[in-house]
Amino acid sequence: MKSTYEKEKIVSIVIIAISLLVMAGIAAFLFLKPEKPTVTDEIEIMPNIVGYSYKEVEACYSRYFSLAVTDTEYSDEFLEGAILSQDILPGKEYLKGQTTVNVTVSKGAKPAETAAPVTEPPAETTAEETEPVLTDGEIENPHAAFEDTFPASELDITVHDIDIPDGRGKEITEELYAIMRRRGADAGFLYYDPETGGSIEYNADEKFSAGSIIKAVYARSLLGAEIDLSEQYEMTEELLNSQYELVNGKPVGTKFTVEELIRAAIIDSDNTAYKMLYNYIGYKDFNEYAASLGVSIRMTDENYWFRLTPRQSAIFFKEIYYFTKQHTNGKFMLDCMSNTTYREMFSVALPDKTVAEKYGYLPQEDFYTLGDCAIVLGDKPYVLVAYVRGTGSNLNTQFFRDTAALVDELHELLH
């Protein structure tokens, strides 16, 4: 028979063996267990990208996720290029840099129903209008009161050189004020009438992220500087705004004229086209242009996106209005701004008007800034500028539609 000592020795050996096996199993589990990605570095929350321009989403989020178009269809709500659906819902987690979002993209508004053509009587003949004499140099840009008038900090509607008519005129002004006050300091607005020099403003000295609005201002500075629009520049890997953003879908190595790049930057809000322009041509013309208007912003190698006040934006677009009427490159500028791809803001509220505009959108971590600057054409053209800041992912484009509709009604009353 085995002694008690031997039995205890055997039991000890068994316990040690079992312990070693358990520790080995735990070590193997920990070693082989897939490491969770750190929340701060790799896991992101999917934003709502429905309604945004496909190109703008690529430009803003290409380092976070990629897009794949699974279908295109007509839409009642969005024009061509807008995202209609996304397969990863807003608020869901995804791996940064390792996720593809499948989207449906609008190929335009649904075609209107066809109807029998209406036969119009021949128009009465009139004497030919003489074409205005265009210039290649400086243009006449009359000074307006809003350019150097700075109201008190109180958020209020301020009127310069306009006699608001009683009745509906006063009602419209009060409705405009109510729209602005609902947004408080997160809204800014300015209306300018070139015929009278009158203006209406709200929170006009608050700075907002201008986003792509600056592309139109930069293009205007080049067009007024007598640059060669036929000059060609090559699209290189280094000049791509993102690996996906190719000007007009052309491959790296393609050469584009300055005219083609300006069209892409304004019409399609193409970031690579804008990047090519300021890298190849520089910012001397832009800085001289801004200085001539008394606007303090300056472009540098590190600063080519800007924050603008509604007042500064209106100063630029007021001058662009006169540029389109007087300069030899004005028709080209007007054509680009009248055919921008994204037209879901002022244009929607003014279907019977030609709206030459440039919008800007900057999404940030927990809020966004959205702006629209426009020349509204018609018998009596006017300039309209508006900005709004918002939280979350849903853009408040209704703010711009309501503002445009009220301003247009008031403008008609004033004339």
Return the DSSP state at 91: T
Burial of 207 (0-12, 13-18, 19+ CB in 10 A): middle
Q: What is the CA radius of gyration of the chain?
A: 29
Q: 398-414 and 168-183 helices cross at what angle (nearest 10)?
A: 160
Which pLDDT band, with edges at 50, 70 and 90, does 111 fall under?
Answer: low
Over the stretch 124-156, which tens digit does the pLDDT of each residue have? 555 555 667 899 889 999 999 999 876 655 688
31-45, 74-88, 110-124, 236-250: which is most confident: 236-250
Q: Which of 3-12, 90-99, 160-169, 247-256 has the lowest mean pLDDT?
A: 3-12
Note the pLDDT of residue 271. 95
**pLDDT value of position 304:** 87
- CB distance 272 to 241 below 8 Å: yes
Instruction: Give ∠ CA 156-158-161 in degrees, rounded to 5.
Output: 170
Contacts of 360 (CB under 8 A, 6+ apart): 209, 210, 211, 212, 213, 214, 369, 370, 371, 372, 373
∠ CA 270-206-54 to the nearest 5 degrees? 20
Q: Is residue 34 pLDDT above 60, yes or no?
A: no
Q: What share of the chain is helix, strand, coil (3-state, %, to 5)?
A: 35, 20, 40
Whole-number pLDDT of residue 124: 54
Mean pLDDT across 283-294 = 96
Q: Does the pLDDT of residue 39 top 60, yes or no?
A: no
pLDDT given for residue 37 in this prediction: 46
The model carries a pTM of 0.70
* Helix or strand (DSSP H, E) at 109: strand 100-109
Least confident of 27-41, 212-226, 227-241, 303-317: 27-41
Q: What is the pLDDT of residue 3?
A: 60
Complete domains list, the chain, with CATH: 43-109 (3.30.10.20), 145-209+307-414 (3.40.710.10)
Q: How far apart are CA 350 and CA 139, in angstroms?
A: 29
